[in-house]
């Protein structure tokens, strides 16, 4: 959405003279109030200007992409997540890496009796693979990042918050989980999906379509 | 940007009766033309409706996120790219992997006398690392993906096209290059940046801010 020159001019006038009434704006532009009504509606609607009754227009300080925030926070994890690829803790590192390639994913999640217990990324695998350990003899349970040290998400988390978590925690992928009944005081989760940088990039492409 | 109920009603009427004039629309809504003028301006501006002079309004068939396309195609590679990490073809695979970890990147680019000659991803490294080769004795030039088999981008390519390339070609990262003088009939490039899924995810978070 590109703003017209007149809309840009209105924003600049509001920034300079706020609060300013539509009459005053129209006068400064040499136009009638009716002529700028649509522009003012648009600028208010997309949150660039705030209309204060009996006071006038003020600049919201927001950029023209406040509407983008509204848009991308409406998209939920369950709409963009993909199928998680899981292995058991006993899987040997070598076999897990082969499984990673077969499924062409960047992260494997580790399950024990239907409960998410860990995650291993391509980076973790590469580290162990060059470390001189015999990867045929080490089970994945030994090298995985273990719960609760994994950033998880809920199926109703929005795309923006998930992408933010990925960037802030410098991770590739977030498991989307559902809470299971507690065993003692330990909260347990079942993995139902994952949202990765790939899912976010796909969403980005879809948005532009 | 959320459409109001009235705007949604207008869209539905246009879909049903197109082409339809603003008078006819106003009548169907039991309103004056002036009352719906701003709504029609907005719907036309965000490309949901097309206004055909002397004919009336028609439905463009576009969804309300056409404006998103405009927005993200205005963002260029040079605004979002990050510094590429490069090594020479002679670097041993083991040393290259250590360098990858030190720089915390997913892809290394390979340069020869300032010319981009190849790229190696974490996935390529993992494949060779578990393959039984002595990674201390194999230079990266042997395992890299070699030009011209690398999808490259230009600093003026837009964010949408780059993200689309990443998804379509199932790659993690696109080197942003500048053309150098040809040696014979072979086009050569210098790498000046890279755009990865991380850059796209960061942009996505920035858009929502």
| DSSP letters for chain B | -PPPHHHHHHHHHHHHH-SB-HHHHHHHHTS-HHHHHHHHHHHHHTTSEEEETTTEEEE----TTHHHHHHHTSSBHHHH-BPPPEEETTSBHHHHHHHHHHHT-SEEEEEETTEEEEEEEHHHHHHHHTTT--TTTSBHHHHSEETTSS--B-TTSBHHHHHHHHHHTT-SEEEEEEE---BTTB--EEEEEEEEHHHHHHHHHHHH-
pLDDT for position A66: 59
Which chain A residues are Cβ-neighbours of B133 within 8 angstroms? none
* Confidence at A205, pLDDT banded by 50, 70, 90: very high
Question: Across the interface, which of B1, B34, B200 has its CB nearest the CB of A45?
Answer: B1
User: If you average pLDDT over residues B29-51, what whole number do you get?
Assistant: 86
pLDDT band at A71 (very low <50, low <70, confident <90, very high): confident
Structure confidence at residue B205 as a pLDDT band (50, 70, 90): very high
- Please give the domain boundaries of chain A with CATH numbers for all domains: 5-64 (1.10.10.10), 77-208 (3.10.580.10)
Q: Say if CB A15 and CB A25 are below 8 A apart.
A: no
The overall average pLDDT reported for chain A is 91
The verdict on a CB contact (< 8 Å) between A94 and B130 is: yes
CA nearest to B77, candidates B208, B168, B187, B191: B191
Answer whether residue A65 shows pLDDT above 70.
Answer: no
pLDDT at B67 over 80: no
Nearest to A42 among B41, B65, B123 (CB): B41
Contacts of A39 in chain B (CB under 8 A): 41
B185 pLDDT higher than 90:
no
User: Cα B160 vs. chain centroid, distance in angstroms?
Assistant: 3
What digits encode the pLDDT tens for the residues A95-126? 999 999 999 999 999 999 999 999 999 999 99
Measured between CA atoms, how close is A146 to chain B, in angstroms?
A: 21
User: Between B151 and A5, where is the model more confident?
Assistant: B151
- Look at B123 and A127 and tell me if their CB atoms are within 8 Å: no
Contact A46 B207 (CB under 8 A): no
Q: Give the pLDDT band (50/70/90) at residue B181.
A: confident
For chain B, what percent of residues have pLDDT higher than 70? Answer: 96
- CB nearest to B38's CB, from A41, A65, A122: A41
> Is residue B195 within 8 Å of B173, Cβ to Cβ?
yes
Greater confidence (B196 vs A209) lies with B196
Binning pLDDT at 50, 70 and 90, where does residue B41 land? confident
A69 CA: distance to closest CA in chain B (Å): 4
Say if the Cβ atoms of A37 and B42 lie within 8 Å. Answer: no
- CA atoms in the 13 A half-sphere facing the CB of A162: 34
Q: Of B37, B122, B203, which is closest to A38 when you measure between CB atoms?
A: B37
Which one of A39, A73, A205 has the shortest CB-CB distance to B160?
A205
User: Are B57 and B14 in contact, with CB atoms under 8 Å apart?
Assistant: yes
Q: Is A167–B201 a contact, with Cβ atoms under 8 angstroms apart?
A: yes
Quick check: ipTM above 0.85? no
From A4-18, A41-55, B104-118, the region with the lowest mean pLDDT? A41-55
Token code pair at residue B171:
């790659």
Do the chains contact at A94 and B46, CB–CB below 8 Å?
no
Per-residue pLDDT at B170: 94
Verify whether the Cβ–Cβ distance B207 to A68 is below 8 Å. Answer: yes
pLDDT at A158 over 80: yes
Residues on chain B touching A204 (C-beta within 8 angstroms) = 72, 159-160, 163, 200, 203-204
Taking Cα atoms as reference points, which of A191, A204, A198, A26 lies closest to residue A117?
A: A191
The pLDDT value given to residue B64? 53
Q: What percent of chain A has pLDDT over 70?
A: 96
Chain B residue numbers with beta carbons less than 8 Å from the beta carbon of A197 are 197-198, 200-201
Q: Which residues of A touch B2 (CB under 8 A)?
A: 70
* Nearest chain B alpha carbon to A95: B130
So what's the pLDDT on residue B116? 97
pLDDT of residue B175: 98
Q: Name the residue of chain B whose CA is nearest to A41's CA.
A: B38
| pLDDT tens-place string over residues A18-56 | 999 999 999 999 999 988 988 888 888 777 888 888 899
CB B175 within 8 A of CB B121: no
Q: Which residue from B1, B68, B130 is facing A207, i.e. has the nearest CB?
A: B68
The pLDDT of residue A3 is 76
pLDDT digits (tens, 9 = 90+) for B138-156: 999 999 999 999 999 999 9
Taking an 8 Å cut-off on Cβ atoms, the answer to whether B160 and A204 are in contact is yes
CA–CA min distance A184, chain B (Å): 38
Please report the pLDDT score of residue B39 as a whole number.
87
User: Closest-CA residue in chain B for A100?
Assistant: B123
Q: Is the pLDDT of residue A75 over 60?
A: yes
Question: Which span out of B7-16, B30-39, B107-116 was modeled with the highest average pLDDT?
Answer: B107-116
Is residue B122 very low, low, confident or very high in pLDDT (cuts 50, 70, 90)? very high
pLDDT at A87 over 90: yes
Confidence tier at B66 by pLDDT (50, 70, 90): low
Closest A-chain CA to B206: A164
A166 or B208, higher pLDDT: A166
């Amino acid at each position: 959405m590109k703003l017209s020159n007149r809309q840009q001019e209105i924003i600049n006038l509001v920034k300079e003279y706020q609060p300013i009434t539509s009459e005053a704006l129209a006068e400064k532009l040499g136009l009638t109030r009716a002529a700028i009504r649509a522009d003012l509606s648009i600028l208010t609607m997309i949150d660039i200007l705030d209309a204060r009754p009996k006071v006038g227009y003020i600049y919201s300080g927001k950029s023209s992409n406040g509407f983008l925030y509204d848009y991308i926070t409406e998209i939920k994890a369950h709409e963009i997540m993909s199928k998680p690829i899981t292995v058991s803790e006993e899987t040997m590192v070598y076999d897990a890496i082969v499984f990673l390639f077969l499924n062409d994913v960047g992260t494997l999640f580790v399950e024990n009796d239907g409960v998410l217990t860990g995650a291993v990324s391509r980076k973790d695998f590469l580290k162990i693979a060059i470390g001189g350990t015999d990867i045929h003899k080490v089970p994945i349970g030994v090298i995985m990042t273990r719960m609760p040290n994994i950033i998880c998400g809920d199926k109703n988390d929005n795309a923006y918050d998930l992408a933010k978590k990925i960037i802030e925690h410098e991770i590739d992928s977030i498991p989307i989980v559902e809470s299971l009944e507690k065993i003692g005081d330990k909260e347990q989760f079942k993995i139902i999906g994952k949202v990765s940088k790939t899912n976010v990039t796909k969403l980005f492409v879809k948005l532009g379509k």
